Amino acid sequence: MAEKLIGKDIAAPDLLAKITGRARYAEDFRVDGMVFCKMLLSPMPHARVRRIDASRALAMEGVIGILTADDVPQVEPHREPVLTNEPVFEGQPVLAVAAVDETTAADAIEKIRVDFEPLPFVLDPLDSLRPGGPDAHTHGNVRVDGEWRRLKWSAADFAEAGDERLPMGEATAEWSLGDVDRGFAEADVIVEETIVHQSLTHHPLEPRTSMAYWQNGKLYAFTSTQSTQRTRGALASALDMDPEDIVFVAEYCGGGFGSKISGSTLMQLPAIFSRKIGRPVMLRITRYDENYIGRARPGFQGWVRMGLRKDGRVTALDLYLVEEGGAYGSGDYGTAGNTAHLMYQPENMRFRAVSPYTNTPPKAAQRGPGGAQIVTMLEPIFDKAARELGMDRVEIRRLNAPGPESTFGPRETPLTSVFAREALERGAELFGWEEKKRLSGTRSGSKLTGVGIGLSPYTAGSRGYDGLMVIRPDGKLYVHQGIGNLGTHSIADTARPAAEVLGLNWDQVEIVWGDSSQGLPRSSVQAGSQTIHAHTRANHAAATDARRKIQEIAARTLGGTPESYTMDGGRVFRRGNPGQGMSFAQVARRAIALGGRYDGHEVPEGIHAETVPSVGRVAGQGLVGVARDDYGGEGAIYSWVAGFALVEVDAETGVVEVKEYTGVADCGTVVHPRSLGAQILGGSIQGMGMAMTQRWVFDPEWGVPFAKRLYTARPPGMLDVPLDLRWDALGIPDPQTPVGAKGIGEPPVGAGAAAITSAVADALGGRCLCRTPLTPDIILAELEGRRTFGRLETHVG
Amino acid sequence: MEILRTAPNPWGQEILVGIGWDLMWLVVISAVLFIVVHVAYMGSRGKAAEDGEVAHGAVHALASDLPEHVKRHSFASRAFHWLMSVTMFGLLITAFVPVMGWQFEWVTLHWIAGVALVVTIVYHIVHSLAFQDFWSMWFSAKDLPQGMEELKHALGAGSGAPPKSGKYPFDHQLYHYAAALVTLAAIVTGVLMMVRVDTPFWTRDPYLLSDRTWGLVYVIHGFAGVSLIGLIAGHVYFAIRPEKRWITWSMIRGWIHRDDYLAHHDPERWVVKR
Amino acid sequence: MAIIRDMIPAFDLFQPASVEDALALLAEHGEDAWVLAGGLDTFDWLKDRIKRPKAVVDLSGVEELTGIRDTGAGIEIGAMTPLSRVVGDPRVRADFALLREAAEHVATPQIRNQGTLGGNLSQDTRCWYYRSGWPCYRAGGNTCYASAPKAMNREHCILGRSRCVAVSPSDTAPALIALGARMVVRRAGSESIHEAQDFFIGPATDIQRMTVLRAGDLLTAVRIPEDWAGARHYYEKVRDRGSWDFALVSVAAAFRMDGDTIGDARIAVNGVAPFPVRLDSVERMVVGHAPDEALATEAGELAVAGARPLRHNDYKVPLMRNLVRRAIRSVA
């Protein structure tokens, strides 16, 4: 391939609109007759609504209507309803009121009397597992094989563990590979720790606002979401309607980090409310609402035992995770177990986990779900083993990292490609590991220096989606993207292979996205860092289809075989005779005249049913390229980031200052360097916040959260980021995909976070506090031998 | 006027948090009004001297063997009374003066005064049960008609010669029981409230009772407190009225004069050892 | 406590153009009035629908409250002067660098542009129990939720508690105490001047106020005398994040050296008590001594004498001790 575009810095086409404010996010839309709604949130962590008296609110001037749990689709108790009469977390929406403006709606909410009956609640999953402990749901505290259970451990389980070690009763998930006892028997060094990882909210800049109205039986829905076409599908399925009856608009998204993968449950609300009152309804989610309904990464209480031979190989890994499941459950623990195995390739491993429901806001994927937490928790413990063995920390990681033949997880999954060792080597070189590691544990004044490493893998691709594009009579290529514009530039970057295949310059390419009425193909969800991989493939396939059709039209028009034609700069011409050819504009007109499969009136076999009507929408606009990604492939697609950090811990204040950070990625071919750098460093910084500052705090007596404003939740700020930030990517293509690119959104989070937890432990002479976030109080209390939070306490602050 | 203060608790449930401070002002103003009106009334009737003063020296034939000083209060009783009054004033001042606007660190002083009050009250109960004529402070249904008559005179509203009482006149008995009831209410609630205060012996815990129950405790404590303002204002006022001073002096000196005994008390009902 | 937040209920807005008019408005509306300076404390309360004033008196149009002027005996800073202007003022930089440093540690550049010196001094505490609208003592209720046995109180006080255990959030307060500043408070018809440390009151005095300001009062200016102009100083603020964060503990100190010994010193600490704490005893102890490590250690220990940590803020004892030590060491 000519590769005029791959690997270049090209600004995304939405940049100007974002900078000038012209970009319309969900809350910027206004339509005639639109009303605003506000929600009444549950004041209790678990309650039952006994009675609602809305008469005073409904009598107010300007109040249009009320929507309660009785008006929304009924779902099973473990699924999140739009509105509920049995809230299972403080802040859960109970009802909504629509009014001519928001202040009226808010005043009306306060006039509604809701009689709540408080029910037992639980914040800490271990409390739910205690004998006689409370259950977060009236049906039980865990779900096993699709059934509710009340899982309680014995008093002996708790007594045996004491206050310092994780109690480990019956697990609900368990797998092992090899024989972990034998592995420990073979080990020369065994390290064991109890760990606590906090829960933290996503805090995207844009809250999950939605607006909706109905016209001629069609639903017009506007929302903030990471994906587009798949969010439309999710909305259709929630409302039990045909996706084709929804005009779905989501052109911009102010961040999601996993919390808006296919929209949110609440995006149904304006649609349902609008249907009830016959007016367009806007639900502007505030920062406060967002805190409750905007999802969170689940926290863990964990226990790990790791055995290593003298040569540095991990012989055994025994891992037990108690996950805080939140109001509607979570599955981060599964990925955490697999990731632990992938990272260290232990010869024997046992994994156990339990994820009780808790009366805390719902959990969801957060950038590297499960993986980021486990890397952050395990890396400093792994360092401890390296220290005991007297081995270099880069070397011991290289030694245990997977290679081309490696597999991971209980199903022994292979990988499409892995260059983790190379990433470590390149990172060590760029960071200056050999020189910096000499600073490890040194003290200057009150400052203790530490260096740390986080090697973090995460999923990075998927296969089998559709590409759809049109060359219109203006001669330009219109790439129809069903993917969402979640702020990563993938909306444009995944179209680059199409331009390359068709020999187009970038200014001859237009991106069509964010509005389902324009005809968008079946796409992946924008999650799991899969987009660059999945959709460079899909667009490559569709462009290849278009290329073939262009060649055919040229051959039909100008004679010769299709193969004898090539193309460049918007013209198709005879190989060796550029004068004999036609412009793409001419090709497009010819395609329309020919009809059939050339202009989309005939749909090829094998494309997804959801793409078929979209092809219908573009049919007749020009030459249509449409195809499914049939490139195939075997094994899981993973990218890696090796993060290196140098920190200074002030022994007199407990403050950690990150002085230097380097992140090096194994993510295949680099499509857009500047954007890639933003992902590697941006993700790493998000990880630093997870390791150092960000948290959620609950009052244990009342079960309500506190750190619910940005200034108390403390995502990292400018001054928490080192000035010396470096990144690089190996640029080794994945052999199984035509463009060679793998995703990068998620792996950096674990790398950034683990580099910090590892570096802080290093600064403290190898002492792993085994708790995040590493706030000054916890570090200082440890150094000064002061009282601090309990070993297993969660939600602290 | 705010009688009870309520607030939404952390779960949004409306709970009692205490009495409205308007009540304090109501009691203070009522007490002042009562005193002013009473002073004026008594003045207009010119009764003060006539009722209270007894010409000393006119030894009654019946009482020729009476000592000149009839012992009314033992030293222990007087010590109790004054100690209790000190703690009571301490409590009222530390409770209400900050509400009235003169702010100072009152909590520690208040609970220390409260503890002192409890000690004096316990002492008083033990002492009165074991060493005093417990029934002298008690009255029964048959005492009521005369009691009402005594009450009228005590307030200066009776006509004719005041009826003669036992050791403790009816108004004193009534007052004692009202004060005892209110003080006990304040003490019981106050002792409970001690778990919500840091002391050298324990760290406070607001969650011993539910917040609804605490609300009731606060309200009872508050009502008892403002009632005590009224009761004590009345008590002090009558104690310093000229016609009552002979009794007031007895709480200092321990005795009343033989003439006062004969003038105000029924020797049948208060038998003095001769 | 959720129900609904983030929507400001209606109120009457008054925008006086002079101090006299502002005072008249405050007198007229009494307890129903709310003084709005930069709005950074105010809007949180209003958005949360917890404090619901009937009349908001916006001072942004009162020009005479803004600016820094030389009084001949020091400087006077108008209460409405933005913190960024305090930071950038040449006279402040030259003579009262301690204040500049403290003001520069407030939140973020945007907040310093919007926030005022008067607002920074008069702001309410950030105790999250109180700010969540719980009926605590400070809110007129009968409970301190933050000091309950299992409460989340790592950010609360170790000194000066009295039923309430919240801390003063101001970054500039300790600096102004160390500089011997005076606060000018006016109300309709009168003016009073308060020593900086007396401007702040603890819950023992009045549990519902952080400062001497009562309804009708207006902090109009801060006067900084020449006494500590050009003195050596030390400021440090320890916080969870590098920006947009209140202090866990902060220290501000001014020193006059007498050869190798400390001739005079004023030291204040914040984040440890419901009011900024002036460390008189430490000042007395260090004066006349050489600021060596032994003195610094002794000063640190004396500073935390009597500290009583809550369940989760034991760390503040060594933190305060160490910051005082550092302040003394800084003039070694």
pLDDT at residue A42, rounded to an integer? 97
Specify if B42 maps to a domain: no
pLDDT of residue A627: 98
Q: What percent of chain A has pLDDT over 90?
A: 98
Residue C136 has pLDDT above 60, yes or no: yes
Topology (CATH level 3) of domain C67-122+167-329: Enolase-like; domain 1 (3.30.390)
- Give me the pLDDT at residue A2, please: 45
A43 to chain B: nearest residue by CA?
B11
Do A297-461+635-784 and A462-628 have matching folds?
yes
Minimum CA–CA partner of B12 in chain A: A43
C195 touching A, CB under 8 A?
A: no
Instruction: Using alpha carbons, list the distances in angstroms from residue B273 to B67, B251, B267, C121.
Output: 9, 20, 10, 73
Domain containing residue B164: 73-264
Chain A contact for B10 (CB, 8 A cutoff): yes
In whole angstroms, what is the distance from residue A745 CA to residue A458 CA?
Answer: 9
Q: Looking at the complex, does the CB of residue C135 fall below 8 Å from at least one CB of chain B? A: yes
How many domains does the structure of chain B reveal? 1
Which chain C residue is nearest to residue B5, measuring alpha carbons?
A: C141
Dump strand ranges (E) for A651-691. Answer: 656-666
A103 contacts C10? CB cut-off 8 A: yes
pLDDT per position as a tens digit, C144-170? 999 999 999 999 999 999 899 999 999
Q: Which of C5, C48, C132 sits opposite A706 (nearest CB)?
A: C132
The residue among C47, C128, C304, C328 with the most chain A CBs within 10 A of its CB, best to mutate, is C128
Closest CA to A361 of A795, A711, A691: A795
- Condensed to tens digits (0 to 9), the pLDDT of residues C218-248 reads 999 999 999 999 999 999 999 999 999 999 9
Q: Report the residue of A288, A688, A692 to disrupt the C interface, i.e. the one with the largest count of C CBs within 10 Å.
A: A288
> Which of A43, A699, A701 is nearest residue B12 as measured by Cβ atoms?
A43
Q: What value does the mean pLDDT take over residues A169-184?
A: 98
Q: What does DSSP assign to residue A469?
A: E
The C-alpha atoms of residue C281 and residue C288 are separated, in whole angstroms, by 13
pLDDT class of C275 with cuts at 50, 70, 90? very high
Q: What is the CATH number of the domain that holds B133?
A: 1.20.950.20
Contact criterion met (CB below 8 Å) for A556 and A548: no
Question: For residue range A215-258, what is the model confidence (pLDDT) as tens digits?
Answer: 999 999 999 999 999 999 999 999 999 999 999 999 999 999 99
- Residue bearing tokens 């632990």: A340
Q: Which CATH number fits domain C12-59: 1.10.10.10, 3.30.43.10, 3.30.200.20, 2.20.25.90?
A: 3.30.43.10
CA distance to partner chain A, nearest, from residue B196 (Å): 16
Helix ranges (DSSP H) in A259-318: 268-277, 287-293
Q: Which has the closest alpha carbon to A313: A382, A219, A234?
A: A382
Q: Which CATH architecture has domain A297-461+635-784?
A: 2-Layer Sandwich (3.30)
H-type helices in C182-315, by residue range?
196-199, 280-286, 293-303
Instruction: Give the residues across from A453 on adjacent strands.
Output: A644
- What does residue B50 show for φ and ψ, rounded to 5 degrees? -55, -40
Is there a contact between B10 and A699 if contact means CB atoms under 8 Å apart?
Answer: yes
DSSP string, C164-183: B------SHHHHHHHTT-EE
Token pair in block for residue C93: 């930089």
Residues 205-264 of C with CB under 8 A from A: 238-246, 248
Predicted local distance difference test score (pLDDT) of residue B269: 74
Measured in degrees and rounded to the nearest 5, phi and psi for residue A184 equal: -70, -35
Say if residues A657 and A683 touch (Cβ distance below 8 Å): no
Cα–Cα distance for residue pair C174/C253, rounded to 1 Å = 8
Query: C318 — contact with chain B (CB < 8 Å)?
Result: no
Instruction: Read off the pLDDT of each residue in A454-470 and give the average, rounded to a whole number.
Output: 98
pLDDT score at A1: 43
Helical residues (DSSP H) of chain C, grouped into ranges = 19-29, 42-47, 83-88, 90-95, 97-104, 109-114, 117-122, 128-131, 172-178, 196-199, 280-286, 293-303, 316-329
Q: What is the pLDDT of residue B60?
A: 55
Mean pLDDT for chain A overall = 97
Chains sharing 3 or more CB pairs under 8 A with chain B: A, C
Tell me how close the Cα of C169 comes to any Cα of chain A, in angstroms.
13
Name the burial class of residue A37, with classes exposed (0-12), middle (13-18) and buried (19+) by CB atoms within 10 angstroms of its CB: buried
Q: What's the pTM value of the predicted model, to 2 decimals?
A: 0.94
Q: Are strands C55-58 and C33-36 parallel, antiparallel or unpaired?
A: parallel
- HSE value, Cβ hemisphere, 13 Å, CA-based, for A705: 32
Give start-end residues of each CATH 3.30.43.10 domain in chain C: 12-59
CB contact under 8 A, A43 and C3: yes
State the smallest CA–CA distance between residue A32 and chain C in angstroms. 23
Q: What is the CATH code of the structural domain delimited by A462-628?
A: 3.30.365.10
List every span in chain C annotated with CATH 3.30.390.50: 67-122+167-329
- Chain A residues within an 8 Å CB radius of B12: 43-44, 116
**How far is the C-alpha of A253 from the C-alpha of A23, rounded, in Å?**
10
Supply the DSSP symbol for A598. Answer: T
**Which residues on neighbouring strands pair with residue A469, listed in sequence order?**
A479, A625
CA B101 vs CA A525, A696, B94, C28, C205: distances in Å: 64, 40, 12, 21, 10
> What are the residue ranges spanned by the domains of chain A?
297-461+635-784, 462-628
Residue with tokens 């779902």, as numbered in its chain: A75
Give the 3-state secondary structure of residue A228: coil
Tell me the backbone φ, ψ of residue A552, rounded to 5 degrees.
-65, -45
Q: What is the mean pLDDT of each run of 10 residues along chain B (274 residues)?
A: 93 94 95 94 71 52 71 84 93 93 88 93 86 68 73 72 74 86 95 89 90 95 95 92 84 82 77 70
Cα A720 to chain centroid, rounded: 23
Q: Do A43 and B11 touch (CB under 8 A)?
A: yes
Q: List CB contacts (< 8 A) between A705 and chain B.
A: none
Report CB contact under 8 Å: A702, B10. Answer: yes
Using the beta-carbon criterion (under 8 Å), do B11 and A699 form an inter-chain contact?
no
Contacts 24+ apart (CB under 8 A), C137-141: C137/C163, C137/C164, C137/C203, C137/C207, C138/C164, C138/C166, C138/C203, C138/C207, C138/C208, C139/B7, C139/C208, C140/B5, C140/B7, C140/B17, C140/C208, C141/B7, C141/B17
Answer yes or no: is B17 within a domain.
no
Residue of C220, C317, C228 lying closest to C265 (CA atoms): C228
Decide if C49 and A110 are in contact by the 8 Å CB cutoff.
yes
Task: Give which of A44, A111, A115, A121 to mutate to test B binding, by max B Cβ within 10 Å.
Answer: A44
C-alpha B182/C-alpha B231 separation (Å) is 9
The verdict on a CB contact (< 8 Å) between A109 and C245 is no
Q: Which amino acid is at C330?
A: S
